[in-house]
Structure 1
Amino acid sequence: MKQAVVGLLAHVDAGKTTLAEAMLFAAGAIRTRGRVDHGDAHLDTDAMERERGITIFSKQAHFDHDGTHYMLLDAPGHVDFSAEAERTLQALDYAILVIGANDGVQGHTETMWDLLERYGVPTVLFVNKIDLATADTAALMHQVRARLSASCLDGVALACAAGASVPEGCATDPGALEDAAATDEAALDEYLETETLARTTVRRLVSERRVFPVLFGSALKGEGVEELLCCLDALVDERTWPDEFAARVYKVSRSPRGERLAWLKVTGGTLRAKMFVSGTERGEAWEEKIDQVRIYQAETFQTVTEVPAGQICAVTGLTHVVPGSALGAEPAGMAPQLAPVLSYQVLPGSNDVHTVVRALRELADEDPLLGVSWQEHLQEAHVQLMGAVQREVIQQTLSERFGLDVEFGPGGILYKETVTAPVEGIGHYEPLRHYAEAHLLIEPLPRGAGIEVGTRCSEDDLDRNWQRLILTHVLEREHLGVLTGSPIADVRITLLAGRAHSKHTEGGDFRQATYRAIRHALMCAREQGTCMLLEPWYRFRLTVPADKVGRALADVQRMGAEFDAPEIAGDTAQLVGTVPASEMREYALEVSGYTGGMGRLALEYAGYRACHDAERVIEEAAYDPEADLPNTPDSVFCSHGAGYTVKWFDVAEHAHVEVDPARLRPWRKADAAFFSRG
């Protein structure tokens, strides 16, 4: 039997969970179809999901249809939970992107489309709610091809060519096969010779993301669902998996009994209960035993002894893994593209603030994009989130799981900092009977690249164990910039040189030296004028009455937005572009006000870029990096048996190690192989 992990993705209210119910019902996996608006959807099992009528956590179900075993993942559709949806993509063999006929292609649809391309997931599109009186299939198909890809083609025609047994009477586009052939040179030669395409060719074009089948239907009424299943049966390709064990964690959660569950896709060999698995997190190697292996069907599960490659499951017993962790022979994956853009102060009320921080860090363990920071100099806890709905869910979870009733202060923009040119930093830590020195190079990377860590230091100069320790300290926490005290991003940090003492060096010494070297480099960059403040930008789509387009244009120009010429269709005008997130906080209310409720603003995260008003933000932050003692750029040296502090601008003159370019080795990434004991 063929098998495939298939994910359902969509913008909010497109009917994604309703489609999941319809697919499970059509395949005979459930006896009755639940409804989101009735609060009895099979996959929306969490009380908060049923209360709000949205999917918050990805869910798993499985069913068989016409010789294919499907493992279905229903991912969140709300923009605030895009990170959960992005993590799910790492487990998918195929995706179904659901588009509501009433809304068409939305900004969030385009975000999901870009992520599917980034992760290389073959995609089928299902245009839902086609039973609505306003639905126009021709116009919707034109919009899909214009906004997403010209290779979006009639799915029924492609499925028939691939051998699908679709219900009789299904209309097909006679030009779909020719258009599909035009996407690939070998397929075009085949089509010109035979005037058709072989089943294997159609499957290959879909699996290689050269074509994207589009189907229409109504999940609520069950229309088009059988055609969708038949299309998947025909287009899903059989896949051979490696024999060596490998797996990737795509989600971490807690069971109702409080057990920590790691949800993973087995990508090689066989996963067995009681087997030991190993990995590396933040530079620390670990090995643990898997306790139970579970196959979930919504909220119920079956305990199994083993799971073969190609399937997904949940396991207990793993305490170190986080979403994205690679197990066994699985290579390291890409860093998530989505990131939180808002920062809120946590107001603990009558609760102990440290208890609240511990609870938040447990939640962050399940969601790596929930940032939690303790600001020592302010004695305040802050969280970084995607939006207000996620904040409300965190607040409710703290109350229900931990019994902590907390509030949040006003949200602010989460800025980041980077460098625009390479800069070297030195950290030296030598109080009495301690010794460590580290030289680190910080270089700029493209926007969205995150943090890369590696070494060029020769092991003849510094033993690999010390190098591992230094790079572990680079990875173990978030490092702050020196303009506003915001986290640094999009940089490569390379160990160039270092020195340890045979008697006096302890592990904590290199932690101090490493932290100080990073801050020293950033202070040097600030002095050279090569520090840059970054801010989040949104992709926006603003629709207003045509007579209000002048006001809309004036607003987005004032905000520093980048946008295309307005598109006017009848009585409405549409503006599309990107804009700093800081300028859009209350603008949706303004749009509603000046358009009399006729305007609509859609926003999607578009990554970090240079801050458009950096001088103002830096001035208002009034951050003094030298006064931030937990993040000092200064070093400690020893003279006559006593330690003394050397200011950052004099550290280079006192350093004990000099970087010799002739002794540098080729750059080596600090990955799992580097941290292994081999």
Structure 2
Amino acid sequence: MSQIVTGLVAHVDAGKTTLSEALLYHAGVTRQLGRVDKGSAFLDPDQLEQQRGITIFPHQAELSFGDLKLTLLDTPGHIDFLAATERVLAVLDYAILVVSAPAGVQATTRILWDLLDKYQVPTFVFVNKMDAPGVDQAAVLAQLQDELDPGCLPFKDPAAQFEELALLDEGVMDDYLTNGEITPAQLRSLIKNRRAFPVYFGAALKDEGVADLIKGLTEWTQTPTPTPDFGARVFKVSHDERGNRLTWLRVTGGNLRAKAELLPGQKADQLRVYNGAKATVVQEVGPGQVCTVAGPTSTVPGQGIGAVEEQAQPRFRPVLTYGLDQRGAPFDQCLAALRQLEDEEPLLGVVDDPATQRLYVQVMGEVQLEILTQRLEEEFGLTVGFDEGRIRYQETLTTPIEGVGHFEPLRHYAEVHLLLEPGARGSGLTFASQCHVDVLSNAWQGQILTALKQRAHRGILVGAPLTDVKVTLVGGKGSIVHTVGGDFRQAAWRALRQGLMEAGRAGNQLLEPWYNFQLLVPTEAVGHALTDLQRFGGEVSQPQAGPGDLVRLEGSGPVAKLRDYAATVRAYTHGQGQLTLTPAGSRPVADPTPLIEAANYDPVGDLANTPDSVFCAHGAGYPVTWDQVPQTMHVPYQTTAQPR
């Protein structure tokens, strides 16, 4: 029997959940088709999802179609929950991309397609709502081929597409010219290698075209080869109704048994396989299977276990920060609740700011904030609000520099040298070591790297989160007698901070988030729209024909200018205009001076993130300011990237 893990992905309102209901019905899991609008969808069991009619959390279902055993993972379609969708993509064997025929390829569709390419997920396409008035199948197919990939081809009868399929691969073309056909094995290979993308047309609500899709999944997928050693990928963390912490993972190789040690000192107390809201307790999970583990307390979404490497940071990160309005709710209870929600979604980035005595959260947009507010009330009994929010700026480094940290109070000792280098845009913070074990033992190096990863590092311009920096351990010193506990942690944190200070304002850069936008406006409003977009300092393409009598404008611009622009669009188009915004990473702020002056941030006065060091003389520790550390340190510079 073939066994695969498949994910459903789509832009909002494409009919993804409706398709999942049809698949469940055909598999015999349900006896009737559930409805999103009636709150009866099998894979939207959460009350919040039923109330809002959207998928918010990834869910699992187990289906069988003849010789095919399929684990189906439903994913959120709203742009605010794209990080959760991205984590699911990393555990898939195949994906089903649902496209609404009337709407065609949307901005979110393109983002999902890029993510599927990033994780190299073979993809089937189901074009839904073909029963809508005025839908032209040929036009939809042409758009898929033009905007996604030329390999998007109808697969109800693959033989009718042999010539087009042969063009996708030179080896297949040679065989086709010789034999006049393409073998099933070659078709599976084209799909597996993302050269061909089978397209099926239908209307899930009327159960049209679904059988063809199932037949395609049965015929054209293949079970992946498991890795020889045990490995697993975490894609979700949640808490059940009893408060038990659950780790959702996919086993890539080996077997996971109940009561086995999953992480050092953390056992898999219980294994569950979910099917919608219901769970079955099992004693063992084999390669290729998805399960939920109760017991581990330190797992995080995206984590690799065993032979699996840690997943790269999600491509899309929060762009807005909101301050919590407690409205009388106890601070400690608010903090504990937000920490639990942050455990499930690390990008929430809860900040307990001692300077303002307030709690802050990071979110993608207003829908995520609304869901957060509702969860705090319904799950934790906390009626709170949030302020108007502000842009989530970040900082990065533009020049390589070596940072030094020294921590030597009486009877303590540690010195750390770090090479800080600009990283690729969107790479986040990465950590590595080029230090020989004769200089620092593996145990000490592990302490340093762990300490660096545990902290949310701040930049020195406005105190914003640091990003896109490669941090490499290049040297240091410890003492067999005096180095204890957190000595290397303190030295490492100070070294990173000291390096940023050495780089100075010229070597540090302030970043702001940008949106990609798709704007639909009536013809008479195009001039107004272009004037606004150019004034925002953004980029805009030439106007194109949109649906109906509307004109489509596409481009990108700063979040600070676009976040509230939808209301303006509705006003000057009298409700006819439509603005779609999707995250587009970060770019340097054109003129950071006003922002830096307004923040009035003192990087030296931020004692929780001090760049200074502590040395010892005459039996007592004494502080040394960051600019004097290079002359006082015990170990010479390890790289050519020295302070200027």
Asked if Structure 1 and Structure 2 have the same fold, meaning a TM-score greater than 0.5 normalized by the shorter chain, the answer is yes
Q: 1:548 aligns with which of 525, 528, 545?
A: 525
Q: Does 1:374 align with 2:352?
A: yes
Partner of 2:585: 607
Q: 1:244 aligns with which of 229, 245, 262?
A: 229
Contact 2:614 2:624 (8 Å CA) reproduced:
yes
Contact 2:93 2:224 (8 Å CA) reproduced:
no
Aligned residues: 639
Q: Normalized against structure 1, the TM-score is what?
A: 0.92
Q: 1:351 aligns with which of 304, 309, 329?
A: 329
Task: Give the Å deviation of 1:660.
Answer: 4.4
Equivalent position amino acid for 1:112 in 2: L
Query: 1: distance between equivalents of 2:571 and 2:154?
Result: 41
Residues 231-268 of structure 1, C-alpha deviations (whole Å, 9 max, x = no match): 11111113321342211111111111211111111111
Closer/same/farther in 2, CA of residues 311 and 426 from structure 1, 3 Å limit: same
Contact 1:157 1:177 (8 Å CA) reproduced:
no
Q: 2:544 aligns with which of 554, 567, 572?
A: 567
Query: 1: distance between equivalents of 2:518 and 2:24?
Result: 35
Q: Does 1:398 align with 2:398?
A: no
1:192-211 to 2 correspondence within 5 Å? 192-211=177-196
Query: 1: distance between equivalents of 2:65 and 2:411?
Result: 69
Closer/same/farther in 2, CA of residues 188 and 360 from structure 1, 3 Å limit: same
Between stretches 250-259 and 481-490, larger displacement belongs to 250-259
Residues 463-513 of structure 1, C-alpha deviations (whole Å, 9 max, x = no match): 222221111111111100001101111111111211223333222222221
Q: Secondary structure at the match of 2:111?
A: helix
Contact 1:430 1:436 (8 Å CA) reproduced:
yes
Q: Normalized against structure 2, the TM-score is what?
A: 0.97
Q: 2:515 aligns with which of 527, 532, 538?
A: 538
Contact 1:377 1:628 (8 Å CA) reproduced:
no
Task: Give the Å deviation of 1:8.
Answer: 0.5
- List alignment gaps of at least 5 residues for structure 1: 162-173, 279-285, 663-678
Contact 1:344 1:411 (8 Å CA) reproduced:
yes
Q: Secondary structure at the match of 2:205?
A: coil
Task: Give the Å deviation of 1:604.
Answer: 0.8
Partner of 1:36: 36
Partner of 2:2: 2
Contact 1:546 1:568 (8 Å CA) reproduced:
no
Query: 2: distance between equivalents of 1:602 and 1:182?
Result: 35
Partner of 1:518: 496
Q: Secondary structure at the match of 1:507?
A: coil
Closer/same/farther in 2, CA of residues 244 and 504 from structure 1, 3 Å limit: closer
Partner of 2:534: 557
Q: Does 1:181 align with 2:142?
A: no
1:193-272 to 2 correspondence within 5 Å? 193-272=178-257
Residues 347-371 of structure 1, C-alpha deviations (whole Å, 9 max, x = no match): 2232332332222111111112211
Q: Secondary structure at the match of 1:363?
A: helix
Partner of 1:502: 480
Equivalent position amino acid for 2:542 in 1: A
Equivalent position amino acid for 1:200 in 2: A
Equivalent position amino acid for 1:481 in 2: G
Equivalent position amino acid for 2:307 in 1: A
Equivalent position amino acid for 2:449 in 1: L
Q: Secondary structure at the match of 1:156?
A: coil
Q: Secondary structure at the match of 1:256?
A: coil
1:143-182 to 2 correspondence within 5 Å? 143-158=143-158, 161=159, 174=160, 176-182=161-167
Q: Does 1:307 align with 2:285?
A: yes
Residues 598-625 of structure 1, C-alpha deviations (whole Å, 9 max, x = no match): 1111111111222234223222222121
Query: 2: distance between equivalents of 1:145 and 1:242?
Result: 34
Query: 1: distance between equivalents of 2:338 and 2:278?
Result: 27
Residues 631-667 of structure 1, C-alpha deviations (whole Å, 9 max, x = no match): 11112222333332222112111111113459xxxxx
Q: Does 1:127 align with 2:127?
A: yes
Partner of 1:665: none
Contact 1:560 1:612 (8 Å CA) reproduced:
no
Query: 2: distance between equivalents of 1:309 and 1:660?
Result: 45
Query: 1: distance between equivalents of 2:417 and 2:228?
Result: 42
Contact 2:419 2:639 (8 Å CA) reproduced:
no
Closer/same/farther in 2, CA of residues 224 and 465 from structure 1, 3 Å limit: same
Residues 116-173 of structure 1, C-alpha deviations (whole Å, 9 max, x = no match): 0000100011111111113221221121112111211112133xx4xxxxxxxxxxxx
Q: Does 1:94 align with 2:94?
A: yes
Contact 2:417 2:638 (8 Å CA) reproduced:
no
Equivalent position amino acid for 1:540 in 2: F
Contact 1:469 1:507 (8 Å CA) reproduced:
no
Partner of 1:166: none
Between stretches 141-150 and 455-464, larger displacement belongs to 455-464
Contact 2:8 2:75 (8 Å CA) reproduced:
yes
Residues 50-103 of structure 1, C-alpha deviations (whole Å, 9 max, x = no match): 001101011111111131111111101111111111111112111001111222
Task: Give the Å deviation of 1:18.
Answer: 0.6
Query: 1: distance between equivalents of 2:313 and 2:557?
Result: 24
Query: 2: distance between equivalents of 1:636 and 1:543?
Result: 59
Partner of 1:337: 315
Query: 2: distance between equivalents of 1:383 and 1:299?
Result: 29
Q: Does 1:26 align with 2:26?
A: yes
Query: 2: distance between equivalents of 1:385 and 1:37?
Result: 26
* Aligned-pair Cα RMSD in Å: 1.6
Equivalent position amino acid for 1:259 in 2: N
1:570-609 to 2 correspondence within 5 Å? 571-609=549-587
Contact 1:7 1:92 (8 Å CA) reproduced:
yes
Q: Secondary structure at the match of 2:262?
A: strand
1:484-503 to 2 correspondence within 5 Å? 484-503=462-481
1:44-59 to 2 correspondence within 5 Å? 44-59=44-59
Q: Secondary structure at the match of 2:265?
A: strand
Q: Secondary structure at the match of 2:157?
A: helix
Query: 1: distance between equivalents of 2:474 and 2:330?
Result: 43
Query: 2: distance between equivalents of 1:287 and 1:639?
Result: 41
